[in-house]
Amino acid sequence: MIHTPDSFSSVRIRLLIGLLALLPVYASATNVLVQTPLGDFEIELLDDVAPGTVTNFLNYVTDGDYEGSFIHRSDNNFVIQGGGFNFINGNLGNVSRDAAIANEFGLSNLRGTLSMAKTPDNPNSATSEWFINLADNSANLDNQNGGFTVFARVVGDGMTVVDAIAALPVANVANLFPVLPVIDFPGGVINSEHLVFTSFEVVPEAPGSDFNINLGMAGSWFNPDTNGQGWVFDVVDNTTTQLLAAAWFSFNNAPPGADDNAGFGSLQQRWFSASGPFTGNTAELQIFSPSGGVFNDPNFLVDRGEPVGTMTVSFFDCINGQIIFDFDAPEVTDATVDIRRIASSALCQAIVDGQLTIAE
């Protein structure tokens, strides 16, 4: 049975606690990033299935009520549960609870779904506590106490993290938490580093998702967070081809390799180019690191070589965008950078507004 334990605000357990700070949240989004010592995972909130329950959960997140909360229950092949208790300034306490909410049972408690905990024999008693189903618990949880309301589900490969938490050993803490998951616990006093803390960040919806790359995007762009980092883009957009191309140069201060033109180890200026198809506002490009080539000398041909990584370019409007770099070489750091147009956006904006059509 899933239920909310009785309040024990008078109980205090002295611990050395390092709290995880809550990151900024954005109430308009419907995905939440859950951060834990064993890794992060994302959950999708099911607004259309359980709107009241989703609103209730988001209120706890945005109000900061889950600060210092931790996973307090781990039942093998059943559930992990949190959202009820916290450790703040070395004291064990309850998450501040709002009024109970109406039950909205509609979806089955399958593996990877999140539901609200509640007190026995009271379907409308859920407050702050949530749990993640580790298995198909529909035969049990769909048929007791009015059914347990599923309000979210783990997305992507997030269950890898959830399963890692569930695989932790458990400890019985003074019978208050009989199945408390613990990290590297040698016995004796449980300190903060032994607990599975949770913090939450509401993931904002991607801005400009209805924006489309067009011929007016061509030109020079730069990273506003650095001094002098930029890219030149070109666009092919016709009835048969939608292609985005990019070029830029960089310096690498690492010691050069045996071959001055080899890999990323050269102290010389290095050119990069990238190209790939786009759909809507996003392009997936392959990155190349050309070498060779001397002006007016046909004997020095440019060798484009094999791809050295990929970059995902997203434009939010005519003047703002983002690049996510994923290089194959381990010595080259992957990154996510914002980009901004240098020149006027008038051409792009005219195309977006339908005031200008460019014939191929």
> Would 333 be classed as within a structural domain?
yes
Q: How far apart are CA 33 and CA 359, in angstroms?
A: 44
Contact status, residue 61 vs residue 231, Cβ threshold 8 Å: no
> Would 24 be classed as within a structural domain?
no
Model confidence pTM above 0.85: no
Distances (CA, A) of 345 to 162, 236, 277, 349: 45, 18, 22, 6
Of the residues 203, 227, 262, the one at which a domain ends: 203
Structure-model confidence comparison of residues 92 and 27, the more confident one: 92
Determine the pLDDT at residue 16.
Answer: 24
CATH number at residue 108: 2.40.100.10
Of the residues 181, 203, 225, the one at which a domain ends: 203
- Whole domain around residue 54: which residue ranges? 31-203
Q: How far apart are CA 256 and CA 278, in angstroms?
A: 35
Q: pLDDT tens-digit profile of 5-38?
A: 443 333 332 222 222 222 233 333 479 999 999 9
> Would 21 be classed as within a structural domain?
no
Distances (CA, A) of 299 to 162, 247, 263, 293: 58, 23, 22, 8
- Mean model confidence pLDDT for the chain: 83
Q: How far apart are CA 323 and CA 310, in angstroms?
A: 10
Determine the pLDDT at residue 12.
Answer: 30
Of the residues 180, 203, 226, the one at which a domain ends: 203
> Would 26 be classed as within a structural domain?
no
Q: How far apart are CA 345 and CA 217, in angstroms?
A: 8
Query: 189 with 53, same domain?
Result: yes
Contact status, residue 225 vs residue 340, Cβ threshold 8 Å: no
Place of tokens 């035969």: 139
Q: How far apart are CA 316 and CA 352, in angstroms?
A: 12
Closest listed residue to residue 37, CA positions, set 196, 177, 180, 163: 196
Query: 198 with 219, same domain?
Result: no
8-state DSSP, 291: B
> Would 15 be classed as within a structural domain?
no
Contact status, residue 328 vs residue 341, Cβ threshold 8 Å: no
Query: 306 with 328, same domain?
Result: yes
CB environment 31-63: b (16+ within 10 A), e (fewer): ebbbbbebeebbbbbbeebbeebbebbbebbbe
Contact status, residue 128 vs residue 68, Cβ threshold 8 Å: no
Place of tokens 């195309």: 351
Query: 308 with 265, same domain?
Result: yes
Pull the structure tokens for residue 132: 């993640």
> What ranges make up the beta strands (E) of 252-319?
269-279, 282-288, 309-315
Q: pLDDT tens-digit profile of 218-243?
A: 999 988 877 678 899 999 988 788 99
> Would 1 be classed as within a structural domain?
no
Domain count of the fold of the chain: 2
User: Residue type at 121?
Assistant: D
Determine the pLDDT at residue 157.
Answer: 85
Which residues, listed in sequence order, are joined to residue 247 by a DSSP beta bridge? 232, 273
